[in-house]
């Protein structure tokens, strides 16, 4: 999946195959992980190191684009296995990795203890003395290979993306949307934004996408899922859909059973675009692939609408 042999895509196994990726970047025998999945993904992360011919002592950095549990839930457990690594976090995210009490409580309130244990495993703190707080424009040195971290709010306020000038690529977390390989067509990748709760903000998200475009990237490494190209086209698709989602939110706001209306309108939007894209799956199968994301995007839109009203 990765064209650059120094970049390894790791399937964390969260929810299903080809859904949740982390990355291993290797330079001169030193390594950085970018995101890490849940606590249940630690074996896959360590296996990726072994597959690259490296030991745990070769990892210098764990770069966490943001602290949503599908990206960073396993950070504390993974850091216990990496004696030389430091975890790099956005200033708004760092406190929640050092003390994940609120993260655990919030996720448990939504999913319940049984689902947290099943899907996320243990959530352990990252020691404060091993955390690097990254301001906007922070630079990481990986054996002479520079990785630039830019704050990219919109999906979450505590989000950064990582520019790798060597590969002319961004590691985008959730800022550059979602693109699942089973929805690819002859036209290339199919992409949708992700506005999952609770901090979706369409204006900053569009600004973050444009900020990344200014670097003329040749590829984007998405958490959900893998490397995509045709970056200007996909960026235009995302910007257009963000506007469409805002319009849907405003149309549905104030209606009885707002959530049901949001779900139906988002489903219709994505299915229409998937059909126009030539996605190989039928409409019901596309809806199944996107079901979780449609639900989360409806919740994210609702949170934004309620915040706007306040």
Q: Are residues 142 and 26 in the same domain?
A: yes
Count other C-beta atoms under 10 Å from residue 301's C-beta. 27
**Residue 168 domain flag:** no
167 within a domain of the structure (yes/no): no
Spacing of C-alpha 284 from chain mean position: 25
The pLDDT of residue 121 is 86
pLDDT at 1: 47
**Residue 3: its pLDDT value, please?**
76
Q: How many domains does the chain have?
A: 2
On whether residue 101 sits in a domain, the answer given is yes
169, part of any domain: no
pLDDT of residue 259: 97
Say if residue 141 is in the same domain as residue 184. Answer: no
Q: What is the pLDDT of residue 6?
A: 97
* DSSP symbols for 101-166: HHHHHHHHHHH-HHHHHHHH----PPPGGGEEE--TTEEEEETTEEEEEEE--SS-TT-EEEEETT
β-sheet bridge partners, residue 221: 171, 227
**Cα Dmax for the chain:** 59
Dist. CA 215–CA 238, nearest whole Å: 17
Tokens in use for 205?
């998200």
**Residue 199 falls inside a structural domain:** yes
For residue 116, the model assigns a pLDDT of: 83
Q: Do 99 and 23 lie in a common domain?
A: yes
- pLDDT one-digit tens code per residue, 220-258: 999 999 999 999 999 999 999 999 999 999 999 999 999
Residue 145's domain is classified under what CATH number? 3.60.15.10
- The whole-number pLDDT of residue 2 equals 53
| Together in a domain, 72 and 207 | no
pLDDT 10s digits, 179-208: 999 999 999 999 999 997 889 999 999 999
Q: Decide which of 111, 135, 151 is a domain's last residue.
A: 151
Q: DSSP letters along 268-294, please?
A: HHHHHHHHHHT-SS-HHHHHHHHHHHH
For residue 237, the enclosing domain spans: 178-218+231-310
Positions in the chain short of pLDDT 50: 1
11 and 142 housed in the same domain:
yes
Number of Cβ within 10 Å of residue 89's Cβ equals: 28
Whether 83 is covered by a domain: the verdict is yes
In terms of domains, do 184 and 303 share one?
yes
190 and 146 part of one domain: no
112 and 205 fall within a common domain: no
| Residues 149-163 pLDDT 10s | 999 999 999 999 999
pLDDT at position 310 is 78
Whole-structure pTM value = 0.95
Would you state the pLDDT for residue 175? 98
- Cα–Cα distance, 15 to 135 (Å, whole number): 32
Q: Are 77 and 209 found together in one domain?
A: no
């Amino acid at each position: 999946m990765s064209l650059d042999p120094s970049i390894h895509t790791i399937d964390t196994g969260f929810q299903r195959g080809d859904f949740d990726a982390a990355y291993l970047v290797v330079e001169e025998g030193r390594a950085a992980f970018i995101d890490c999945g849940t606590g249940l993904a630690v074996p896959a992360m360590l296996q990726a190191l072994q597959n690259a011919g490296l030991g745990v002592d070769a990892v210098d950095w764990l770069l966490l684009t943001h602290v949503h549990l599908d990206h960073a839930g396993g950070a504390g457990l993974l850091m216990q296995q990496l004696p030389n690594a430091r975890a790099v976090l956005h200033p708004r995210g760092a406190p929640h990795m050092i003390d994940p009490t609120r993260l655990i409580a919030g996720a448990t309130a939504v999913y319940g203890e049984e689902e947290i244990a099943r899907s996320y495993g243990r959530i352990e703190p990252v020691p404060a003395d091993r955390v690097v707080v990254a301001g906007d424009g922070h630079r990481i040195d990986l054996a002479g290979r520079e990785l630039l971290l830019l704050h990219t709010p919109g999906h979450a306020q505590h989000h950064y993306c990582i520019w790798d000038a060597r590969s002319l690529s961004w590691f985008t977390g959730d800022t550059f949307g979602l693109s699942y390989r089973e929805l690819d067509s002859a036209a290339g990748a199919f992409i949708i934004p992700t506005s999952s709760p609770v901090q979706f903000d369409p204006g900053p998200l569009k600004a973050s996408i444009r900020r990344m475009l200014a670097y003329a990237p040749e590829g984007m490494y998405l958490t959900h899922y893998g490397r995509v190209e045709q970056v200007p086209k996909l960026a235009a698709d995302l910007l257009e859909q963000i506007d469409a989602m805002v319009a849907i939110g405003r149309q549905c706001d104030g209606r009885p059973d707002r959530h049901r209306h949001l779900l139906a309108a988002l489903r219709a939007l994505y299915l229409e675009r998937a059909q126009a894209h030539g996605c190989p799956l039928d409409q019901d199968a596309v809806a199944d692939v996107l079901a979780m994301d449609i639900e989360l995007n409806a919740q994210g839109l609702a949170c934004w609408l309620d915040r706007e009203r306040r």
